[in-house]
Structure formats: C-alpha cells, structure tokens
C-alpha cells in the first residue's frame, strides 16, 4: 500500500531522530511491500527562524494532505518565553494538535524486557512487569481555558486559568479508553479529583455511564494524588489509565520514568479522522543536539504506533518493536541507557542496527 507521511523534523535532536525513523520506515516498506512518501513540514523554532512564526500559515493543510504525521521535537533556549507567543515553539505544538483535532494522547509506558534493570523501582516491582497505556485528553481543560491577569488593590497581581470540560469532550476520550482496553488487558482506571473539582465530578459521571456500556472491561476511579503514588508503588496494576489534560501531562511523565529512559518512549495523538500525529515523548535535548548521541528508539517506536493506530498494520508494528527489542537484547545501547562499562553507540548506528534486524 501507499502512505503519505508528513515529517516535522523540528529543532535540536529532532532532525537526527526523525532521520533514523525514516530509515526504519523504508526498511518496513521493503520488507512488507509498502511505499512511504514524505513531505517535509516546517514547524517550531526552525520555522520562526525561517519565516518569523513557529506555526507557518498552511501547516495544518499540509499535514491533512498526508495519512500521518511524524514529529521529532521542537523548542530550545533560543526561542524562550521572552519571545512573543507566535514565535514560541510550544505555541505551534498546541496549535497543530488543535487544528488536527487530536484530542487523545496515547503514551505507553512499558518496561522493555532487555531493560528491566533500568527500572528505578524495587526489583520485585519491576519483576511484576509494567505495561500501561496512558490516555490523556489533549484539547480541553486548563491548558485551553481562558487566561486572566489583573492588578488587585491589596494583593498585587493576580492570575487565573479556567478549567472547563463538556460531556462531549469527556465522552469521546472515555470511549477511546474503553475501546483501547478491549485490545489490551481490559481494564480502565479513570483518574480525577472528584472530591474537589466540579469538572472531575462531571468526568466521573460520564465515565460511569460509559462503564455500563462496556461490561467486559473492568473499571475503577482513582484520585489523581493516589494515582501518582500507585504509579511508583505498584504500576503493574494499571492497564489503560485515562485522565484529563493537565493530570495526564504530569502522570504520563511520571509513568515514563518508571520504565527507565525518556529516550525509549513513543507517543501518539489521535482524533476521529486522519492524520494522527506520532512523536517521541522527549524534547529537543539541546544539550546533546548535533552530536550523534540522541537515542532514536522513542521515535522509531512512534513509527510502530503509527503502523498500529493510523494504518492498522499490526504485523508491521510488531516487527518494528521486535527489531528494537532484538537490538537491545544484543546489548547495544546509546549513551542515555548505557550501563557502566558499556561503550555506547551513536544515533545513526542504533538506527542502522534496527534496520538490519528488520531486514533479516
Ligand atoms: P528534553 O526531553 O529535551 O531533555 C531532557 C533530558 O533528557 C536532557 O538531558 C536530554 O539530553 C535527555 N534526552 C532527551 N531525549 C533524549 C534522547 N532521545 N536520547 C538521549 N537523551 C535524551 O527536555 P527539556 O530539556 O526539558 O527540554 C528541551 C527543549 O525541548 C525545551 O525547549 C522544551 O520546550 C522542548 N520540549 C519539546 C517537546 C516536544 O517537542 N514535544 C517536549 C518536551 C520538551
Ligand atoms: Mg509534558
């Protein structure tokens, strides 16, 4: 089959890791008889440098003309918070997610078999296995609410950020979570703060209604503070964890660390229609950019998610994951995941080894 993929290489290590992921896509194409064609899309700090805006006009249209979008990372100290909003890379990320209608952010946190020793939790906890999928609402809540900033008479400046959720927004993300759980271990943990927040009480009532529609899926409510604790105490208890935007932002970072390295973790953002956006969870890592040190695995596993969720190519997705696990099992490590005494390999060599496994 033929697929069109938009490539947002971005800033810092973005172009390096996307370069390796494209090699992997080509290897998948060869092995399974698909043709992937690429369209480069400018977004982030590099776009600000080129055209004065981090989110150039027509960006969403270019992406919508493709079947999926692969993004490296954007941002860096050069385009900091002192810049006007339209020049900041973060603005572009929020804008593209909104314009593509990507309301569900999927972040698997799975301990890869060859990397069990990298888990910072107790050995017994790691041995129980960690394989969860965080499903974060991505286009609502406090990150998209009205912001206010005003001077008070007696308390100095005051700021406010509004958090709002509609039943429609909660129901569509909730449904995604139950559908995804059916493909996995059939358990949904819904995270809220219903003992305090009105939005959470609405969240919980919608989730309970959905739970009745999916009697084959086990369901539980978890308060966000308890969830933060459980992720460190016993992450093996979770399968699909669904939550609102800000809670999900924080908890997904926490969940990712229990698996050992930021350089290994992929993500997907999807809506009701194509294209989905696939990207590593890490940022542009300016400290190691341009040095052939970045771990490309997170981006390569994002391509596996693209195969699974946008193209419904499960064999191709599994082949990529098996190739990554194979290279790790052979002992190859980039610097970020190298144990003491292991000589690390570079970004390009890691990409080449994964392609070799795919072709073998
Ligand atoms: P970061 O994820 O870029 O880096 C954190 C640490 O992890 C650094 O020490 C970095 O060297 C290391 N690291 C990250 N990815 C790695 C990889 N693939 N291989 C090896 N080591 C890796 O987060 P940080 O430093 O907070 O942010 C740097 C810039 O990236 C900022 O401008 C930030 O806004 C942006 N950012 C962009 C994101 C995106 O494009 N989705 C997400 C997070 C941050
Ligand atoms: Mg974050």
* pLDDT tens-place string over residues 234-271: 999 999 999 999 999 999 989 988 877 789 999 999 99
Domain boundaries, the chain: 1-106+263-360, 120-258
| Mean pLDDT confidence for 277-298 | 97
Query: Is any ligand 1 atom within 6 A of the Cβ of residue 294?
Result: yes
Q: What is the pLDDT of residue 157?
A: 97
Q: Which of 38, 53, 99, 143 is catalytic?
A: 143
Please, what is the average pLDDT of the chain?
Answer: 95
- Token readout for 100 is 């593509």
Q: Which ligand is nearest to the CA of 262?
A: 1
Q: What is the pLDDT of residue 35?
A: 98
**pLDDT surpassing 90 at residue 233:** yes
User: Domain 120-258 has what CATH class?
Assistant: alpha beta
Q: What is the pLDDT of residue 166?
A: 98
| Mean pLDDT confidence for 187-208 | 98
Under a CB-based contact definition with an 8 Å cutoff, are residues 8 and 70 in contact? yes
| pLDDT confidence bin for 81, thresholds 50/70/90 | confident
The gap between the terminal CA atoms of the chain, to the nearest Å, is 21
**What distance in Å separates the CA atoms of residue 71 and residue 9, rounded to the nearest whole number?**
6
Whole-model pTM: value is: 0.91
Ligand 1 pocket test, candidate residues 20, 265, 283, most atoms within 8 A of CB: 283
Residues in the 5 Å CB sphere of ion ligand 2: 249
Query: Is any ligand 1 atom within 6 A of the Cβ of residue 283?
Result: yes
CATH T-level assignment (fold) for domain 1-106+263-360: Isopropylmalate Dehydrogenase (3.40.718)
Q: What is the pLDDT of residue 117?
A: 81
- Token readout for 74 is 């954007």
Under a CB-based contact definition with an 8 Å cutoff, are residues 11 and 44 in contact? yes
| pLDDT confidence bin for 126, thresholds 50/70/90 | confident
Are domains 1-106+263-360 and 120-258 of this chain identical in fold? yes
Catalytic residue flag (residue 225): yes
Residues of each annotated binding site for substrate: 97, 107, 136, 225
């Amino acid at each position: 089959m033929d697929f069109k993929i938009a490539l947002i290489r971005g800033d810092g290590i973005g172009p390096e890791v996307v370069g390796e992921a494209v090699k992997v896509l080509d290897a998948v194409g060869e092995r399974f008889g698909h043709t992937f064609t690429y369209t480069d899309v400018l977004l982030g700090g590099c776009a600000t440098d080129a055209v004065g805006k981090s989110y150039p006009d027509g960006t969403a249209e270019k992406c919508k003309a493709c079947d999926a979008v692969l993004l490296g990372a954007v941002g860096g100290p050069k385009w900091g918070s002192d810049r006007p909003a339209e020049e900041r890379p973060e603005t572009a990320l929020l804008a593209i997610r909104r314009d593509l209608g990507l309301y569900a952010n999927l972040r698997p946190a799975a301990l890869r078999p060859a990397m069990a020793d990298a888990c910072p939790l107790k050995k017994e906890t790691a041995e129980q296995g960690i394989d969860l999928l965080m499903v974060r609402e991505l286009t609502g809540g406090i990150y998209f609410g009205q912001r206010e900033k005003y001077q008070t008479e007696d308390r100095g400046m005051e700021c406010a950020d509004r958090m709002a959720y509609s039943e429609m927004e909660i129901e569509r993300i909730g449904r995604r979570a139950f559908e995804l759980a059916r493909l996995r271990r059939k358990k949904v943990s819904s995270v809220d703060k219903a003992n305090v927040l009105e939005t959470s009480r609405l969240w919980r009532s919608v989730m309970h209604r959905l739970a009745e529609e999916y009697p084959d899926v086990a369901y539980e409510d978890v308060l966000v503070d308890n969830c933060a604790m459980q992720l460190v105490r016993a992450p093996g208890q979770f399968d699909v964890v669904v939550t609102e935007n800000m809670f999900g932002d924080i908890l997904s970072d926490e969940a990712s660390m229990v698996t050992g390295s930021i350089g290994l973790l992929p993500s997907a953002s999807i809506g009701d229609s194509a294209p989905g956006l696939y990207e590593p969870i890490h940022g542009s890592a300016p400290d190691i950019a341009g040095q052939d040190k970045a771990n490309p695995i997170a981006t390569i596993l994002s391509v596996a998610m693209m195969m699974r969720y946008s193209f419904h190519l499960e064999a191709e997705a599994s082949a990529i994951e098996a190739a990554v696990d194979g290279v790790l099992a052979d002992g190859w490590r980039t610097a970020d995941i190298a144990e003491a005494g292991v000589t690390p390999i570079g970004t390009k060599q890691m990409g080449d080894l994964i392609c070799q496994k795919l072709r073998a």
